[in-house]
Amino acid sequence: MQKKALVVFLVTGVFAGILLAWQFATRIPKGTTFVADEWSARQDVLDNYLDEQAYLKSRIVTLRGQIQDSQGEISLQSEKTNLDILDNLKKAIGLTPISGEGVEITLNDSPLSLREGASVSDNLLIQAADLRDVVNLLFAAAAEAISINDQRIIATSPISSVGTTILINNSHIAAPFVIRAVGDTGIIRQRLLNRSLLEDLYARRDKGAIIFEAVTKNSLTIPIYNADLKAKYLNLVTQ
């Protein structure tokens, strides 16, 4: 009885082994193994990883170049902006010559007058106040630059007199007085032709006491300011 049972178990085991071997053989193609497939898959993953790393490295190099180019452009823009600010400041205090269209105004004493020995209040003479009135009118007309007998006039320029001697920027200036202004000629002429703004000059001119003329010019050049600059309110800033 035991022998019979042993034979049955043996036959059953052999049959089960044959069945498992047959199923395994049908699932695995001939000529391939699990080890080969796993190695191939790992190699594909590694190749993809290396390709992605190479692409990312090239992108980093490209982006760094773009960043450097952008920083260079920003630096150039910043330098240009600072230079523009500096140029505007230099123009405001008369340290750069200005050229352009404008108006040339001539103020002169009467041909019948003599400054030597004349009275300070002589209506036949151009006074410092007359020059100040014209300069103030030109500044109000937004003139870019003004000069009197090639003396650049800025906001702090003194126009005064000692007796009948006219001082501009503390320099002696003799008649005739040629005032040049660069700016919008339409606005400047409109202000100059308004008799109410220069009432005394027009009244004296109409009487033949003085010479007062204005001519539009296509091109004028106003020289740089060559007098002393007042630095009373300037402070040194350290960084």
21 and 124 in a common domain: no
142 and 27 in a common domain: no
Q: Distance between CA atoms of 40 and 46, rounded to whole angstroms?
A: 10
pLDDT given for residue 222 in this prediction: 94
pLDDT given for residue 69 in this prediction: 75
Tell me which residue range forms the domain holding 13.
Answer: 2-31
**Quick one: which of 120, 210, 111, 226 has its CA closest to 165?**
120
DSSP per position, 25-50 = HHHS-TT--HHHHHHHHHHHHHHHHH
pLDDT given for residue 28 in this prediction: 46
Q: Distance between CA atoms of 189 and 141, rounded to whole angstroms?
A: 9
Ranges of the chain with pLDDT below 50: 2-3, 7-8, 22, 24-28, 233
* Residue 192 domain-assigned (yes or no): yes
pLDDT given for residue 229 in this prediction: 63
* Residue 92 domain-assigned (yes or no): no
Q: Between vectors from CA 216 to CA 211 and to CA 219, what angle results, nearest 5°?
A: 125
Q: Distance between CA atoms of 30 and 33, rounded to whole angstroms?
A: 8
Q: Distance between CA atoms of 88 and 101, rounded to whole angstroms?
A: 19
pLDDT given for residue 87 in this prediction: 73
* Residue 47 domain-assigned (yes or no): no
pLDDT given for residue 131 in this prediction: 97
| Kind and range of the H or E run holding 100 | strand 98-108
pLDDT given for residue 235 in this prediction: 56
Kindly report the CATH number assigned to the domain that includes residue 215: 3.30.70.1880
Count of structural domains within the chain = 2
* Residue 186 domain-assigned (yes or no): yes
User: Rounded to two decimals, what is the model's pTM?
Assistant: 0.63
pLDDT given for residue 227 in this prediction: 74
